Structure 1
Amino acid sequence: MATAQDLMQAQFARFAALDPQLPQDQFVPTDAEPVAARTSGGHAVAGLVTHTSNPEGSARGLWQAGEAFELFPIIGEHPRAGMDSLLGAWRERLGEQDDPGPNSSAMVVWPSRDVQATRALLDHGFMPLSVLAIRSPTPAADTKLSGTVKVRRAGPADLDAVVDLTLTELEYAALVGTATYRSDAAQLKRTAARVRLHSDDPVWLAEQDGTPVAVAECGWIDTGKSPRAYRLRPGSWGYINCVSVHEKARGTGIGRQLMSVVHNEFVRRGAIGSFLYYNPPNPLSSVFWPRQGYRPLWTMWEVRPATALR
C-alpha cells in the first residue's frame, strides 16, 4: 500500500517531468486537516485542507474570500482520477461542516501544465481565476517612447497618485478575478502604499506631461527566507505586486515602457527571474503579460462560495 511519502515522491517526480521550473519540493502545511480517498481503480490518495479567515479590515480580504479553504492534494501518479476522487471526498467533508456562507471559497493551486488534473478540476466546478506566472531574467527591449513620457522611482510625496492608480487596478480586477473592492479598500491601499514608499521595495511611476499615468509596485523575495515564495525555485526573485495604467493611457505603449525599466532593474540586481499573479479572465492582463515574456507556472483554481464545489 502506498504511503503519503510514496505519493509525495511520485508527485515530485511527475511535476519535474511536467515543468522544469517547478520547485523540487512541495510545501506541506502543518496546521491542516487530512482528507483521504480512493480512485475507482483502488489507488489511495490524500490531501490536506487549510482554513483561513479574513475578517473585515483585513488587507488579504481584498483578494481572498472571507472564509478561504485550500486543498493541498497528494495524489502521486494519478492526476485525473486521484484529483477527481479527492475533490469528491472534500465536497463531502465540506457538506458535514457548518455552512461558511456566501463570502467563502474552495481553492486548489496546481501546476498549470497538468492538463489531466485540469479536467478533474473543471468537472468539479472550479474556475482558473488566477495564475502565478514567471519570466526569465532577460533584458527588456528598449521601448522608450518619444515625447513627454518619463519613468521614475516613486517616493513618499507620490502617495496620492500611487493610491489612485492602484485603486483603479483593484476596481477593474474585481470584475474579472478573485479581487473584491470592499468598503475600506481605499484606506487599506493607502496604508500598504505608505509602507512601500518608505521601504526599499521599488515603486515606479510613469508620467506623461508631468502627470502620473501608470504605476508598478515591485519587490524582492528570497525563496529561502519568505514563506510566500515556496512555489518558486530557490533564489532571489523580482516580484511585481501591482501594475496599473490609467484608462486614457492604455494602448499607447506606456505600460511596455514602464515594464522595460522594471525588468532591466531586476536583471541589473541579479534576479534569477521575476513573477506576478494575473487573472486569465482579464482581457487586458491575459494579453499584456505573455507579451512581456511571462508564462503560467501555477494556476489558482477556485469555487465561490465553497459549498458550490461539485
Structure 2
Amino acid sequence: MATAQELLRAQCARFAALDPQLPDGYPVPPGEPLVARTTSGDAVAGIVTRTSNPPGSMQSLWQPSTVFELFPLIGEHSREGMAALLGAWRDWLRSQGAPERDSACSVIWPSRDVQAAKALLDGGFTPLSCLAVRPPTPPCTFTELSGTVTVRRAGPADLDAVVELTLLELEYAALVGSSTYRPDAPQLKRTAAHVRLHSSDPVWLAERGGTPVAVAECGWVDADRPSAGHRLRPGTWAYVNCVSVREHDRGTGVGQRLMTSAHEEFARAGAVGSFLYYNPPNPLSSVFWPRQGYRPLWTTWEVRPATALR
C-alpha cells in the first residue's frame, strides 16, 4: 500500500509533466484524513479542511459561510483516484452534518488535468474560478479608443470612484461566478479600498473626459513565502485583484488600455509574471483575460451547497 509521501511524490511528478508552470510542491495542510481505494484496488488519500467565513470578513464576498476543501493525494491515479476519493468524501460529509445552505465543497486542482476534471464533473462539481498566469511579455497592442481616455494612478481622493467601480464588478460577478453580494459589501469594499489606496499597491483609473470609467486594483505577492507561493513558482508576482469597467464602456478597448498600463509597470518592476482569478462561467472575463495573455493554471471546482456532492 502506497504511503501518503509516496502518493505525494508521484502526484508532483505528474503535475510537472502536465504543466511546467506549476510549483514543485503541493500544499497538504492539517485536517481530517480520508482514505479510499480505486476500482483497481489502488490506495489513495486526502485531507479535508473546514473554513468558516463569518459576516464582516472579506472572504465572505467570494466564498460561502462554510467551505469544506479537499486536498487529494492520488498519485498517478488521476481519474479513478479522484472518483474514489470523492465517494469517501461524500460519506464523510454525511457523518459531519454539513450545512445545507451557504456552504460548499471545494477542490483546487491543476487546470490541465482533464482526467481529474472528468471525475469532478461526474461528482457534480462546477469550475467556478481559475487562477490564471501571464508571463512578463510585451503588452498586447490595444484597440484605438474613441474619445479622450486617459489612465492614471489612483490616490486616496479617488476612494468613492474606486469603491463604486469595484461594487459594480462584484454585483456582476455574483451572477456568474463564486462571489456573493452580501449586505455589508459596500463597507467591506470601502475599507479594503481605503487600505489599498494608502499603500504601495498600484491602483489605476481610466477616465473618459475626466469621468472614471474603469479601475484596476493590483498588488504584489512574494511567492518565496510558503503562505503566498504554494500555487505559484517562486518569485515576486504582480496580482490583479479587481478590474471593473462601466457597462456602457465595455467592448470599447478601455479595459485593454488599462491593463496595458498595468502590464508595463509590472515589467518595469521586474515581476516574474502576473496572476489573477477569473470565473469561467463569466462571459466577459472568460474572453477578456485570455486575450490579455492569461491562461489557467489552477481551477477551483465547487459544489454548492456542500450536501449536493454526489
Q: What are structure 1's unaligned runs of at least 5 residues?
A: none
Q: CA deviation at 1:141?
A: 3.5
Which residue pairs with 2:164 in the alignment?
164
Structure 1 counterpart of 2:97, one-letter code? D
Which residue pairs with 1:35 in the alignment?
34
Matches of 2:101 and 2:228, distance apart in 1: 27
Which residue pairs with 2:180 in the alignment?
180
Which residue pairs with 1:98 in the alignment?
97
Which residue pairs with 1:152 in the alignment?
152
SS of residue in 1 equivalent to 2:29: coil
Q: CA deviation at 1:226?
A: 6.0
Q: What are structure 2's unaligned runs of at least 5 residues?
A: none
Which residue pairs with 1:201 in the alignment?
201
Which residue pairs with 1:85 in the alignment?
84
Q: CA deviation at 1:228?
A: 3.3
Matches of 1:133 and 1:9, distance apart in 2: 24
Cα-to-partner distance string for 1:178-225 (whole Å, 9 max, x where unaligned):
000000000000000000000000000000000000000000001113
Is the 8 Å Cα contact of residues 133 and 294 (structure 2) preserved in structure 1?
Answer: yes
Q: 1:1-310 to 2 correspondence within 5 Å?
A: 1-30=1-30, 32-143=31-142, 145=145, 147-225=147-225, 227-310=227-310
Is the 8 Å Cα contact of residues 36 and 84 (structure 2) preserved in structure 1?
Answer: yes
Structure 2 counterpart of 1:90, one-letter code? W
Q: CA deviation at 1:147?
A: 3.9
Matches of 1:307 and 1:101, distance apart in 2: 6
Structure 2 counterpart of 1:232, one-letter code? L
Matches of 1:161 and 1:91, distance apart in 2: 45
Matches of 2:265 and 2:29, distance apart in 1: 34
Q: CA deviation at 1:25?
A: 0.7
Q: How many residues align?
A: 309
Cα-to-partner distance string for 1:87-136 (whole Å, 9 max, x where unaligned):
00000000011232310000000000000001100000000000000001
Matches of 1:111 and 1:129, distance apart in 2: 14
Q: CA deviation at 1:145?
A: 3.4
Q: CA deviation at 1:59?
A: 1.0
Matches of 1:193 and 1:226, distance apart in 2: 26
Matches of 2:90 and 2:121, distance apart in 1: 14
Q: CA deviation at 1:146?
A: 5.8
SS of residue in 1 equivalent to 2:6: helix
Structure 2 counterpart of 1:94, one-letter code? L
Structure 1 counterpart of 2:90, one-letter code? R
SS of residue in 1 equivalent to 2:182: coil
Matches of 1:89 and 1:106, distance apart in 2: 13
Matches of 1:99 and 1:51, distance apart in 2: 10
Matches of 1:112 and 1:225, distance apart in 2: 23
Q: CA deviation at 1:58?
A: 1.2
**Runs of 4+ with >2 A deviation:** 141-147
Matches of 1:225 and 1:7, distance apart in 2: 24
SS of residue in 1 equivalent to 2:163: helix
Is the 8 Å Cα contact of residues 222 and 228 (structure 2) preserved in structure 1?
Answer: no
SS of residue in 1 equivalent to 2:232: coil
Matches of 2:192 and 2:40, distance apart in 1: 50
Is the 8 Å Cα contact of residues 145 and 252 (structure 2) preserved in structure 1?
Answer: no
Structure 1 counterpart of 2:264, one-letter code? N
Q: CA deviation at 1:142?
A: 4.4
Is the 8 Å Cα contact of residues 129 and 278 (structure 2) preserved in structure 1?
Answer: yes
Cα-to-partner distance string for 1:135-182 (whole Å, 9 max, x where unaligned):
010121343636411100000000000000000000000000000000
Q: Percent identity?
A: 70
SS of residue in 1 equivalent to 2:131: strand
Matches of 1:297 and 1:172, distance apart in 2: 24
SS of residue in 2 equivalent to 1:23: coil
